[in-house]
């Protein structure tokens, strides 16, 4: 008899499988004819608390990531299809969902064209919690055990008004980017999501996640 699986987050008995990252981040085939971005997705065991009760957080993460300036064509397409359908159904305006006090602005792209965007504050705590679940899920997938210990998450595409934080973030990003050059790139659908894990050492384990080719998130794990 196989041992009963436990949840990747809390070690309670698993009752279902959860996609890591959330399934909603990957475009449906009806939106991308002849292209399948949902092949060989990662799933890990989960309890009801850490799967079925966070669908709203998954939708929030999907909308937040798809609209980040600098992401690839797929993120823009996802914004205009699946994200739009969800917002139309809920009656929520996109910028009001992902930003506090949103304001319109125009930025000039590298090709000289002007692009209209919304600027505003994001809920860093909410975003970090979403990425925590993904990071812990990947850790379970890689090492076949739940992570217990301390961790640090750095969201590269979110700016902070604290100059010291931005300086520290730039240093962390530089270190990670130098180290991750030789890390294996994993993920069957890299235009949507890819990730890398470094070799564990006495300081812990480092990982990098990239969404839609332009949104990077860095994680440092230190087991208890």
pLDDT per residue as tens, the chain (224 positions): 456 789 999 888 999 999 999 999 999 999 999 999 999 999 999 998 888 667 889 989 998 998 888 899 999 999 999 998 988 888 887 777 777 766 776 767 666 777 666 666 778 889 999 999 999 999 999 999 999 999 999 999 887 767 777 887 888 888 888 888 889 999 999 999 999 999 998 889 999 999 999 999 999 999 98
Using CA atoms, how far apart are residues 38 and 192, in angstroms rounded to an integer? 10
Cα torsion for 10, 215, 75, 193, to the nearest 10°? -50
**Cα-based distances in Å from 162 to 100, 103, 167:** 17, 20, 9
- Residue indicated by tokens 């989960």: 46
**Cα-based distances in Å from 87 to 38, 42, 83, 93, 107:** 22, 26, 6, 7, 25
**For residue 168, what are its two tokens?**
């520290």
């Amino acid at each position: 008899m196989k041992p009963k699986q436990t949840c990747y987050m809390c070690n309670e008995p698993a009752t279902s499988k959860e996609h890591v990252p959330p399934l909603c981040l990957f475009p449906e085939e009806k939106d991308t004819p002849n292209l399948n971005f949902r092949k060989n997705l990662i799933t890990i065991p989960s309890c009801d608390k850490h799967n079925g009760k966070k669908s709203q957080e998954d939708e929030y993460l999907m909308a937040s990531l798809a609209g980040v300036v600098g992401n690839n064509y797929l993120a823009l397409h996802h914004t205009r299809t699946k994200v739009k359908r969800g917002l139309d159904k809920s009656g929520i305006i996109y910028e009001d969902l992902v930003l506090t006090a949103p304001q319109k602005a125009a930025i000039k792209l590298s090709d000289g064209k002007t692009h209209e965007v919304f600027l505003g504050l994001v809920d860093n705590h909410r975003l970090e919690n979403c990425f925590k679940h993904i990071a812990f899920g990947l850790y379970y997938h890689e090492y076949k055990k739940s992570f217990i210990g301390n961790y640090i998450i750095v969201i590269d595409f979110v700016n902070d008004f604290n100059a010291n934080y931005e300086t520290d973030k730039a240093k962390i990003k530089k270190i990670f980017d130098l180290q991750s050059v030789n890390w294996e790139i994993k993920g069957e659908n890299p235009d949507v999501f890819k990730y890398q894990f470094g070799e564990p050492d006495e300081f812990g384990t480092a990982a990098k996640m990239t969404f839609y080719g332009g949104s990077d998130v860095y994680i440092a794990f230190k087991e208890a």
